[in-house]
Structure 1
Amino acid sequence: MSGGIKGILFDLDGTLLDHRGAADAAITAWASELAPGHPRLPEVAALWAALEIPHLAAWQAGECSWQEQRRRRVRALCRELSVEAPADLEAAFASYADHYRRGWAAYPDVAPALAELRGYTLGVLTNGTQGVQEAKIRALGLDVGPVLTGECLDGHFKPSAACYAAAARALGLPPGQVLLVGDDLDNDVRGPAAAGMPSVWIDRLGVEAAPAGFPRLTSLAGLPALLATRYLS
């Protein structure tokens, strides 16, 4: 174990779980059922991914309920496709969610990396809802410690400095002894660093350079070696 880092917090979606792969396949299947043969079906995954950002942000800011942001996303996608929205938006999202759950899978590098990190205090820090994110961890069969969301951190979500401080306290460690590993540059790299928590960017697509001063990995397989070198003190 490295001398300076005692705990590791992992982001979940896009870091441990292939959220994009599952979500893209799910929304494409759902839209194909709603509007078979629609000329914009090849674009549906990208449209849905773009809609996640503002509507989830509205929920995190307390502007709407979790259920309402789901309804808004379905309505917005239908508007983008110029098709009539289903009368029961909740049922429509539930149908998408069924497709999504069937696609849950961990990246292949996750289990081997976790096996090498058993000396550290582990946890998951995610902006999703508590119940759904815990269900993902159970479905993946991962032993990664507590699942921490804004719902159990006094309403604090990434990239709030209070979120990282609360997550470190949940692990029983100061922020400087906890490493956050994730795929989102604002939420998982710059945000924690500004709050005094070291961070590592996992670039699953392998297409960008890391911001100056931040380590970049394209696979979690490189995390144990990074901990043994960069964070040894």
Structure 2
Amino acid sequence: MSRTIKGILFDLDGTLLDHRGAADAAIIAWASALAPGHPRLAEVAALWAALEIPHLAAWQAGECSLEEQRRRRVRALCRELAVEAPADLEAAYAGYAEHYRRGWAAYPDVAPALAGLRGYTLGILTNGSQGVQEAKMRAIGLDVGPVLTGERLGGHFKPSPDCYAAAARALGLPPEQVLLVGDDLDNDVRGPAAAGMPSVWIDRLGTEAAPEGFPRLTSLTELPALLAARYLSGHSYLG
């Protein structure tokens, strides 16, 4: 049975902003300066991406500060590459972060998709840090409603059911009237669905099997038509 959707929450990294492209280019530039000609430079982007998962999870769980997880990631990468870690780990991460900021860019389908969503209450639901995620939105020149992070939602991060409930409240809507659109199958698709929030998978990488029973997009420009076909139940919120 169709449900009327009045609000839409977008994940940020990998959904609206090309985080992987920016992060990969940044860590390659950083590591190339740290260890020119290192035989594993071709692996650096994949190594750095893998390190994001446990260290960001430790921060989200309250096991360490945001700054400490950054230091841990730099130290772990240097250990993996068998090179001496910089004495000032915070300055080292700041050097990476500067490269990363230069690469912030929205995917080309974002602006056209948003133009077709007038009338919906929009927002961002992201597991990143509040300050950084707000800076990303300013940098890419998009106003998509409130930026909601675990820091703003009482320490609740995706895929906690409390995170989705709190995000829906922030939009002033019940979870069943809010659609979450994102690229992470656990955080943005299965997690919200288990908490009573409809979800849609944006498959930007094409590296995972489509989850059974969930809508799949290959471009955000497909979202307005999906909403019209599946969720409106005879009511129009497209303005």
Q: 1:60 is matched with which residue?
A: 60
Secondary structure of residue in 1 paired with 2:196: coil
* TM-score, normalization by structure 2: 0.96
Is 1:25 aligned to 2:25, yes or no? yes
Structure 1 partner of 2:122:
122
- Equivalent pairs counted in the alignment come to 232
Task: Tell me how large the CA RMSD over aligned residues is.
Answer: 0.9
Deviation, structure 1 residue 206: 2.5
Look up the SS of the partner of 1:181 in the other structure.
strand
- Residue in 1 aligned with 2:147? 147
List per-residue Cα deviations over 1:143-169 (Å, max 9, x = no partner).
100000000100000000000000000
- Tell whether 2:102 aligns with 1:92: no
Identity over aligned pairs, percent: 89
Rounded Cα–Cα distance in structure 2 between residues aligned with 1:193 and 1:70: 31
Aligned residues of 2:3 and 2:176 also touching (Cα < 8 A): no
Q: Give secondary structure in 2 for the equivalent of 1:197.
A: coil
Residue 93 (structure 1) shift: 0.0
Once the two structures are superposed, what CA deviation does each residue of 1:11-41 show, in whole Å capped at 9, x if it has no partner?
A: 0000000000000000000000000000000
Partner of 1:37: 37
Please state how far the C-alpha of 1:3 moved relative to its aligned partner. 6.6
Kindly indicate whether the alpha-carbon contact (under 8 Å) linking 2:67 and 2:90 is maintained by their aligned counterparts in 1: yes
- Which whole-Å deviations, capped at 9, do the CAs of 1:74-124 have from their partners, x for residues lacking one? 000000000000000000000000000000000000000001102100000
Output the CA distance in 1 between the equivalents of 2:62 and 2:155.
9
Q: CA deviation at 1:216?
A: 0.6
Structure 2, unpaired ranges of 5+: 234-239
SS at match of 2:151: helix
**Amino acid corresponding to residue 186 of structure 2 in structure 1:** D
Residue identity matched to 1:49: A
Q: TM-score by structure 1 length? A: 0.98
- Partners of 1:49 and 1:59 in 2: CA distance: 16
Residue 178 of structure 1 deviates from its aligned partner by: 0.1
Task: State the match for 2:198 in structure 1.
Answer: 198
Match of 2:237 in 1: none
4+ long deviations beyond 3 Å: none
1:16 maps onto 2:31 in alignment: no
Q: Give the CA deviation at 1:210.
A: 1.8
